[in-house]
Chains A and B, each alone.
Chain A
């Protein structure tokens, strides 16, 4: 009897639950250009853009924000101090770009605080080592390896959580569409009396989504996936004329004007419906004063926002919004 009553009894009030959730799983505002929306654990953000468009750079900058501590020896870094898992499907990640960016960030923050170029190197090393050990990386060369990795992730993440003391906060997947062509050509055998599901692009996508959902149940994380985009079709690209010198000044997009090439999603629909936020990156041209640095513009497709941000990649490799 007691067990039945205790089952019906209230565990916590809604107010207490909200307070608990907001402290344990805070919503974060990511560095630009993802700063327009506050994102929470459990969101799946897809960053789409043609190659090259600074997608990996955004993932790296976001990782740095996540692995830095909020405050270290009096200097404010404004980070989350949580580990990040980077699954590299494109297999093009270069650890030097991450380490250089992290070093610049650490010395920059220290310089801002102390005002002089002191002996920052000592501070660098300890903090640098602590941050780099919070960056977890794995790479997969084909879909089977990716699925195997996803299967074993709950176990590995549990071990990491015990080792580091805090749970992984972000899962980054560089190029979710990396194996698209290889999966499309998978032989989908309709014959065969064995119990195995026939492999095809659809079943692969279903498995990926299932595994990630299962993973998110046990280890709630924010998922950021980069994807290279295909724009329009061959006929329309020649007609895309940018007479938009005035338009981009006021940062408000025309809804479906003729100057935008259309974006085509090639991932299976199960992945498309799994994604909760989508941001599109595009190289922008026409601004002559920034010719030395490549500039990009962003557009939130899901939820559709009317704002479009512009940013450039400066010499330090940082993303600076204009």
Chain B
């Protein structure tokens, strides 16, 4: 009876077994990013993509969504807060990846488009509602086998409630963060969230959402786009076992 009342206790071997069986690595669709992350996005991790505006965060999210929906079975849930989800762009990614002469392209497009579920969310309370609903669905194993959840952009949902003297904004942010972590780990999802940048000290910029957010994502990545060449650069801000500061240049066509 005690076992059912609280979280279970594992030993190191059981954790390792769970990591090897359930916590696979999902490729992002972009070879260079996969190279940087030693395989791609890990199931069970909450990955944050931070970057200034128009640095390519949404493009990376769309690319990842199309690739994961295509390559792995299961649904991809896309929570869009800025009306930036573009089905046309997804179809473009899919047709790029497959052979032009391939007649199955239409079928692939059909299959992938029906596996990506997009919701428009404009405030934090709807987000918390949706996350709770998703958690309940997954717990009772109704319907969809969700593989990935993308929230673009999480910071535009949270930033309006932060600040002001009260603790409620931070409490909402931390609650959302822990919900995401629980979803990722207990239900074997990979979660990607995006964040914008704000001015930091001495003229540099830093990811938004402050210090309390820093301890929530497992992996924090920084995107940067070079104006001249239109290349993008992604670097690791924080990772459980990869070194911080590693960078990689990539391009999303």
Contact = CB atoms under 8 A, between A and B. Distances in A.
A262 interface: no
B10 A138 contact: yes
B201 A185 contact: no
Given A91-B181, A91-B182, A95-B19, A137 B214 contact: no
Contacts of B15: 95, 135, 137
Interface in A62-86: none
The 3 closest A-B pairs by CB, nearest first: A132-B12, A185-B171, A135-B12
Contact of A181 (B6, B11, B19, B173): B173
28 contacts: A50-B211, A51-B238, A52-B244, A94-B218, A95-B18, A96-B240, A131-B12, A132-B12, A136-B11, A137-B9, A137-B11, A137-B12, A139-B185, A141-B178, A141-B182, A148-B5, A149-B7, A152-B6, A175-B215, A181-B170, A182-B174, A182-B175, A184-B170, A228-B211, A238-B201, A238-B202, A294-B244, A317-B241
B47 to A, nearest CB: 12
Contact of B16 (A50, A95, A184): A95
A92 interface: yes
B168 interface: yes
B143 interface: no
A285 to B, nearest CB: 12
Given A138-B7, A139-B7, A141-B182, A181 B12 contact: no
Contacts of A161: none
Contacts of B238: 51-52
Contacts of B21: none
Nearest to A102: B12
A237 interface: yes
Interface of A: 50-52, 90-92, 94-100, 129, 131-142, 145, 148-149, 151-152, 155-156, 175, 178-179, 181-182, 184-185, 228, 230, 237-238, 294, 315, 317
A87 B26 CA distance: 28
A149 B201 contact: no
Interface string B223-253: 0000000000000001011011100000000
A228 B238 CA distance: 15
Nearest to B18: A95
A65 to B, nearest CB: 15
Contacts of A95: 12, 15-16, 18-19
Interface in B167-188: 167-168, 170-171, 173-175, 178, 181-182, 185
Contact of B10 (A136, A151, A175, A294): A136
Quick one: which of B5, B178, B182, B238 has the most chain A CB within 10 A?
Answer: B178
A97 B241 contact: yes
A92 B181 contact: yes
B101 interface: no
B171 A184 contact: yes
B142 interface: no
Given A138-B8, A138-B9, A237-B201, A178 B241 contact: no
A156 B9 contact: yes
Contacts of B9: 136-138, 156
A137 B12 CA distance: 7
A97 B12 CA distance: 12
A156 B3 CA distance: 9
A141 B178 CA distance: 6
B2 A152 contact: yes
Given A92-B215, A185-B171, A99 B185 contact: no
B167 A90 contact: no
Contacts of B11: 132-137
A99 B215 contact: no
B102 interface: no
B181 A141 contact: yes
A18 B212 CA distance: 45
Contacts of A132: 11-13, 16
B12 A133 contact: yes
A94 B12 contact: no
Contacts of B244: 52, 294
Contact of A97 (B6, B170, B215, B240): B240
A253 B10 CA distance: 42
Contacts of B13: 129, 132-133
A51 B218 contact: no
A30 B2 CA distance: 34
B168 A137 contact: no
B218 A92 contact: yes
A95 B170 CA distance: 29
Given A92-B181, A141-B182, A51 B10 contact: no
Contacts of B241: 94, 96-97, 100, 317
Contacts of B167: 181, 184-185
B214 A51 contact: yes
Given A52-B244, A132-B11, A181-B173, 13 more contacts: A52-B214, A94-B240, A95-B16, A96-B241, A132-B13, A134-B11, A135-B12, A138-B9, A141-B178, A148-B6, A228-B211, A228-B214, A238-B201
